[in-house]
Amino acid sequence: MVMGRHMGIRTRDERGFTLVELMIVVAVLAILAAIAIPSFFRESSKAKHQSEVTAMMGEIAVKLEQFKMESANGRYIDAPKCPGSPTPAGANFRTSCIVATSVWETLRINPPATTTYCSYEVTTGTSADAPAPTGFTMAQTATSWWFIIAECDMGNDGGTNATFMVSSIDSKQQKLNVGQ
């Protein structure tokens, strides 16, 4: 206790916070962080994959159309799934797919980013083929078509993969398992 200057009255100096109050604030902040941080990383991962898929599918779509226009038979070309599975650590698409697989090299793909975290596959067909892959919709067409499938490990845990698709018939990106 501190003696006041006025008339010898003792007053208590009550500035600051008690240890209990500080501990309560720290506990509340810890609870909020435990809820918010995993959600932040999950949404950040989704955004990273979504931006990669959109850019890469755009690049592949353009190269497929160029290939059809320049080829002697006027057809699209299938490209095998590459890399073989989504890679949480990322893969260099140029070395693992373009250099290693002649079809990807033939398409002259120029990946928008050096490292890719999703795998990509191109399937083509004619009006006689049933176009839609399982889980997606695609209208029957009287011409040749293509669709691109991207598979991403959204949780970077080897669990359920998110799958994306665009096609020459409908350029709107379709999605499966993105929120899981």
Banded pLDDT at 57 (limits 50, 70, 90): very high
What are the two backbone dihedrals, phi and then psi, of residue 152, each rounded to the nearest 5 degrees?
-130, 140
Mean pLDDT of 58-63: 94
pLDDT of residue 130: 72
Question: Which range has the worst mean pLDDT, 6-10, 109-113, 159-163, 165-169?
Answer: 6-10
177 φψ region: left (φ > 0), alpha (ψ -120 to 50), beta (else)? left
Asked whether the predicted pLDDT for residue 165 surpasses 60, the reply is yes
What percentage of the chain has pLDDT greater than the value 90? 26
More confident residue, 156 or 137: 137
64 pLDDT above the threshold of 60: yes
The whole-number pLDDT of residue 56 equals 92
**Poorest-confidence range of 6-15, 70-79, 132-141?**
6-15
More confident residue, 6 or 44: 44
Please write the tens of the pLDDT for every residue from 166-179: 999 888 888 888 76
pLDDT, position 69: 92
